[in-house]
Amino acid sequence: MLKKIVGAVIVSISVSALFLISLHAQGSPFKADTSRPVIAAAEYERWQKELSNWGRWGKEDEMGALNLITPAKRRAAVALVKDGVTVSLASNAATQKELDVPCPAEWMMVTATTAAATDRVAYPCIHGAGATHIDSFAHIFFNGLAWNGYPVSTVVSKEKGAVRNSVLNMKNGIVTRAVLFDIPRLKGTPYLEPGTRIFPDDLEAWEKKAGVRIGAGDALLIRWGRWARRAKLGPWAIDEGAAGFDNSVIPWLKQRDVSMIAWETPGYAPQPPGDLPRLALHNFALTMLGIMLIDRADLEAASEAAAARNRWEFMLSVAPLPIPYGTGSPVNPLAMF
């Protein structure tokens, strides 16, 4: 069974790669944000030594910055619940291939009788664009090393899957304080244009405007308006055009001790000239800082709920599926106001 799953993942990655090559051949209709210099590869490499959290929670750690979510932190998060209203942060699973969904989830009705109905759901690539999902530390590696400095050969293989740093470590769920950074509201626009980079001073300007400050063990939710733009203009190739964190945010995330990030897209594109790949921050946050990541979140409903209450902090709960040897899991994160 595992061989079949791995095979499906490999096929899906190949299909996605061909899809992206085709898009690059056509050219991107979006403009790169050249308003500020980009982080150089040399600085990024230096940060891997200076900012790394490897060993911070012990040589055998597999939880990373989730260690910052203490029982006291969870109790404080629960105390934020005032109205008892829950809001999903998940996008609906996409089952049709589109410009922004090169690897959709698979759904079919297996049986439907007068007595019962059964359907089947499959995710050919957990880390694809088909569903909101959480990454485990067995997903991304740096120079042959996984989170906490483990050699990749001791973490994951095609034959056994992820024997370390797997999503099963999060079986008991995640409950913490979340802070929503609504950058379009900060800028007075319904959404940011693809290619826009979000900088530390943007985050701090939002904290001042919203009257919140993110701290140790908190989850950072970053909205740039992907879904609002999609609702107005239709789907487009996300890998060709997206707003997101500039790589200069990396030291800021380390300083604030963020435990988790949920975002609509994991990187910005197109990129101005530079040496770093589009997912440089995504990969650094996950593997070097130990920050758990939730990809393809939909923060539109949470934005409206928070704005209606003028309250941008709330309790967040995330319950990944207990998948043995898994590198990630579909999730339905819940904000509770």
DSSP readout, 100-128? TBSS--EEEEEEE-SS-EEEEEE-S-TTS
Which residue stretches of the chain are H helix?
A: 2-26, 41-50, 71-78, 183-187, 200-210, 226-233, 250-256, 280-287, 300-309
142 vs 3, residue with greater confidence? 142
Query: Taking 60 as the threshold, does the pLDDT of residue 24 lie above it?
Result: no
Residue 69, helix vs strand vs coil: coil
Question: Phi-psi region for residue 42, left (φ > 0), alpha (ψ -120 to 50) or beta?
Answer: alpha
pLDDT single digits (tens) 50-80 = 999 999 999 999 999 999 999 999 999 999 9
Query: Taking 60 as the threshold, does the pLDDT of residue 231 lie above it?
Result: yes
Q: Are 183 and 205 a contacting pair, CB within 8 Å?
A: no
pLDDT single digits (tens) 153-162 = 999 999 999 9
- What confidence tier does 128 reach under pLDDT thresholds 50, 70, 90? confident
Query: Taking 60 as the threshold, does the pLDDT of residue 314 lie above it?
Result: yes
Query: Taking 80 as the threshold, does the pLDDT of residue 13 lie above it?
Result: no
Query: Taking 70 as the threshold, does the pLDDT of residue 228 lie above it?
Result: yes
| Domains of the chain, first to last | 2-103+132-336 (3.50.30.50)
Q: According to the model, what pLDDT value does residue 22 have?
A: 41
User: Alpha-carbon distance 171 to 207, whole Å?
Assistant: 32
Q: According to the model, what pLDDT value does residue 44 have?
A: 97
What separation in angstroms does the CA of 154 have from each of 131, 136, 229? 29, 15, 42
> How high does pLDDT run on average in the chain?
92
- What confidence tier does 23 reach under pLDDT thresholds 50, 70, 90? very low
Alpha-carbon dihedral angle through residues 37, 213, 90, 262, given to the nearest 10 degrees: 40
**What is the average pLDDT across 254-283?**
96
Q: Are 39 and 248 a contacting pair, CB within 8 Å?
A: yes
User: Alpha-carbon distance 337 to 320, whole Å?
Assistant: 21
User: Alpha-carbon distance 302 to 300, whole Å?
Assistant: 5
Q: How many Cα atoms occupy the beta-carbon half-sphere of 156 within 13 Å?
A: 24
From 172-181, 182-191, 265-274, the region with the lowest mean pLDDT: 265-274
From 9-18, 29-38, 244-253, 258-267, the region with the lowest mean pLDDT: 9-18
Q: How many Cα atoms occupy the beta-carbon half-sphere of 285 within 13 Å?
A: 32
Query: Taking 70 as the threshold, does the pLDDT of residue 30 lie above it?
Result: yes
pLDDT single digits (tens) 267-279 = 999 999 988 999 9
For the residues of 262-327, what is the DSSP string, one character each? Answer: EESSSS-BSPPS-SS-TTHHHHHHHHTS--EEEESB--HHHHHHHHHHT--EEEEEE-----TT-S
**What is the average pLDDT across 310-329?**
97
Structure-token pair, residue 211: 């009257």
User: Alpha-carbon distance 243 to 229, whole Å?
Assistant: 11
Query: Taking 80 as the threshold, does the pLDDT of residue 259 lie above it?
Result: yes
CA 30, 31, 36, 37 dihedral sign is: positive
% residues pLDDT > 90 (the chain): 88
Length of the chain: 337
Q: According to the model, what pLDDT value does residue 133 have?
A: 97
Query: Taking 60 as the threshold, does the pLDDT of residue 93 lie above it?
Result: yes
**What is the average pLDDT across 309-335?**
97
What pTM does this model have?
0.90
Q: Which of 313, 86, 319, 83 is nearest to 220 (CA)?
A: 313
- What confidence tier does 27 reach under pLDDT thresholds 50, 70, 90? low
